[in-house]
Structure 1
Amino acid sequence: MRIVLLGATGFVGSHLLPQLSRRGHHCRVICRNRERARHLRLIPGVELVSGNAFDPDSLERALDGADAVINAVGILNERGRGGRGFHRAHVETVENLLSACRATGVRRFIQISAINAGKGDSHYLRSKGEAEQRLRVAGHVDETILRPSVIFGFGDSFFTRFAKLVRWLPVLPLACPQSRLQPVWVGDVAAAVGEVLVRPETVGEVLELVGPRVYTLRELVELSARLSGASCWIVGQPDPVSRIQAFIMDFVPGKPFSTDNYKSLQWDNVSDDNALPGLGIEPQPVRAIVSAYIGGSPRQRRLDRWRDLSRP
């Protein structure tokens, strides 16, 4: 199958490409700077094309002759606080892809969304929900929407970030410590994409992807500390303090936490309807995977990284 992938240089996309390659697909990757993405050429069946999600002409050129498009574009925070960045990354990307699909006749469309999309007043969740709505009413694509929980794996922005914090800080004030999450391994998400591509019965479906166990945020951060050998004291913050902490972090470079993150964490990131088993995928537990990339020596973590990417 000839597939166009957006977001190939991101966390999910970098794990998805090897999965699609192993399944024998030809993957056309849209990138703004082909030289910065030249390492992707080492993956069999990958073609790099210049373009971006906000250039209709380049999108149409990339989709010409394709059988399917996968949208793995997503951001967890934005510059500013008004939601414009989220809307541009999530909603406008889908709108532009839908226009390109109409122009080129591409029908199969896989959208990587998020659990709780459309709920609450988080710009992240609202924009994910708006993007889903655009797909549902389009009429000219055969869409499947995947809603993963927090995604973890080598290079993630969750366990890796907390592992760095607990190594350097003697005390970590943790906002929203009782928020419930059901983390899913990025390899399982990539496998799910590969499965739905060849399962016509998934057209029109919204599939939730979660791991085998529910944790509180505090339990996950404590696990990061144990696996990284840190002795950081983790202090859970009450809700009013969490809200203030999020507001302050809005103005910290890099936004390690934000008001929008706080709003997202008001919704349990869990599901009682995990689609992975129905796709023939056994959800992988957190500890077995995470210990490979935040524990051990740097050399061992690099070796485990390559094993991670080579798993079927």
Structure 2
Amino acid sequence: MADDVLLETYQAHRALLFGVAYRMLGRVADAEDVVQDAWPRWSAADRSEVRDPRAYLVRIVTRLAIDRLREHATRRETYVGPWLPEPLPTDAVAPAATAPDGADRALLADTVSYAVLLLMESLSPLERAVFVLREAFGLGYPEIAEALGRDQPAVRQLAVRARRHMAERRPRYPVDARDQRALTERFLAAALHGDMAALLDTLAADVTLVADSGGHAKAPRRTIEGVDKVSRFLEAVGPDAPAGLVAEFTVLNGAPGVYVHGPEGPYAAMLLEFEDGLVRRIYLVNNPGKLGHLAG
């Protein structure tokens, strides 16, 4: 292939490659680095070995992401407080048009949800790769086997283990998208106006709050459980916040959320999970290193 054709092919699949890498790694910068690192390998590839450019590029990115996952295992041991994926607008993680046949927008959004990304943290790197390629992007077992350098029976075993693990632990809280927005806006209005009675009306009795500051901002270093403790934390957050902040409804990782920003840029992002019309889980990200891509 000529250099311009190589670049055109790479760019045509870039959104798909980022979608794979982000689901594998949960970090925007890491996913972008992996996609960038795929370019020299793609441009130097033996063209006689490239039967399907998309599959070849996915193989490169998957293997690079697996290597990076293994590197991250040791870093997580020294991370301050809980670790959460970087919140990301859903449309940024490979729209359905770039995915293989059968992987529709709803499925793509589901596989990038916080609930799923956090569950995948307990999978091995190979199990995670198989789950992402199979469940999110609908790749066949022959393609996945080639991407991982494994035989098909081994890949099928990995898929069974990953699927069983996810099914056993995956929360199921079906809530209509319009109801999700209405509930989020009720939660946001109550929090902004300091209306604790209204705020309590939005929270489940067993609500939990998980915060990720990475030690760079004020946040609890352990999960807060129960409506009393969570509401007290939310009540205390307001007075400590800088002046000039704006909080608005947004959609992150396929879920309703709140984006907080001010004159100096992004301040925090909050994602919500619901059950029976109430907020059951709150994810708060105020680690500055995980918010820069939300600016603008």
TM-score category by the smaller chain? 0.3 to 0.5
- Structure of larger gyration radius: 2
| Greater fraction of residues in helix | 2
What is the TM-score normalised by the length of structure 1?
Answer: 0.32
